[in-house]
Amino acid sequence: MKIKTSAPLRGAITVPGDKSISHRAVMFGALAKGTTRITGFLMGEDCLSTIDCFRKMGVAIEVADDAVTVHGVGLHGLRQPEGELYTGNSGTTTRLLCGILAGQAFSCTVSGDASIQKRPMGRVITPLRQMGAHITGTQDNFCPLTLGGGSLHGITYSLPVASAQLKSAVLLAGLYADSPTTVIEPAPSRDHTERMLRDLGVTVETNGNVITLTPPTELLARDVAVPADISSAAFFLVAGAIVPGSALTIRNVGINPTRTGILDALREMGADIEETNVRGDAEPVCDLIVRHSQLHGITIGGDIIPRLIDELPVLAVAAAFAQGETVICDAQELKVKESNRIAAMVSELTKAGADVEETEDGMIIRGGRPLHGAQFATYKDHRIAMSMAVCALACAGESEILDPEVVAISYPDFFDTLTHLGG
């Protein structure tokens, strides 16, 4: 995929539906009593992996355009799959499935692609075993994982890292426990699981960083309108901020407070971002307007990291075009995503002429140098691919994105959207 220096980006776009909410809508719909209609569903490969897994467990799921209908089988209605549950490249599918499968009366095996088989699962195995689940895995830490039926009991568990996937796995297992389950977070992570379970009638109490779930007798199906994913919007927020003359509107973006670290960080850097038409209840949404602006370096670390962990690669791009030094720290989790995103972004930004230094828990970016086009690797990582495409828009000359098809994980039409905007 060849990308040249962009003319101003102008227009209004709608990015795909929120990946986190799309995953959970299918999972919770499958476990609910009744029919769940999901609109705005993300038809990316990760979310389609979730649908495939639940179909293999006997859940009827219909797909049409961006709408999905899930015919729930109830908390105890899943059936043992005939073969392995394959989760593709999806860490969310893999880890949340573990929580659900821990409470089933049957055993099965979960695995994914080569990337998933390198991602740490011990952090999920540990609390689920404490609850009474039977789990084995490669080196007790990697997929394939085999989960056997067990009687679960509620626990109080302090998460070693702020991770919505880990938190959700424990809470989902808590649906099948014989007593309440409490999770204590070191810092707030995205709370879609808690919000959506409450909407389905489950008692979930949050007191600061302490979340307690009381096991329900059933879940009651509710339709779900999935907002546009702020993680996908982030690429166009940065593009609009760094490409001179740009003015973009991104419609119907979810602005759940546990996900808006990207807005806080970009505004602190000097980005001109306006929220309009704010609406919604369980999951607030708005239209975002971003205009080109002069950015400056900041320090990004601490409690904000879980609120923008997926957006850090494209924030590194913004930092490369900002004046002064940006320090990203406390972001060790980037090393165990679809790729080592710290090493990947340092390598690729350096190819464009940026002054970037890798650190143990992040990177230091000394911005303001003129950047030039290059041939960028994607590491089979959708967010690296889209981040470097945004970088290419503001680089001098032509760039090439290798293996661009990896964007299908979360944003199949990403490059079409760029073309539409004149990128």
Active site residues: 310
Question: How would you write 256-317 as a 3-class SS string?
Answer: CCCCCHHHHHHHHCCCEEEEEEEECCCCCEEEEEEECCCCECCEECHHHHHHCHHHHHHHHH
The answer to whether the beta carbons of residues 87 and 97 sit under 8 Å apart is: yes
Strand 375-376 to 398-401 pairing: parallel
Instruction: Please provide the distance, in angstroms rounded to a whole number, between the alpha carbons at the two ends of the chain.
Output: 12
Place of tokens 């979730």: 50
The answer to whether the beta carbons of residues 339 and 380 sit under 8 Å apart is: yes
Structure-token pair, residue 218: 């059933």
Q: How far, in Å, CA of 386 to CA of 410, rounded?
A: 10
Name residues whose C-beta falls within 8 Å of residue 196's C-beta, 6 or more positions apart in sequence.
Answer: 21, 24, 25, 28, 224, 282
Q: Please classify residue 4 by burial: count the beta carbons closer than 10 Å to its beta carbon, then call 0-12 exposed, 13-18 middle and 19+ buried.
A: middle
The answer to whether the beta carbons of residues 284 and 255 sit under 8 Å apart is: yes
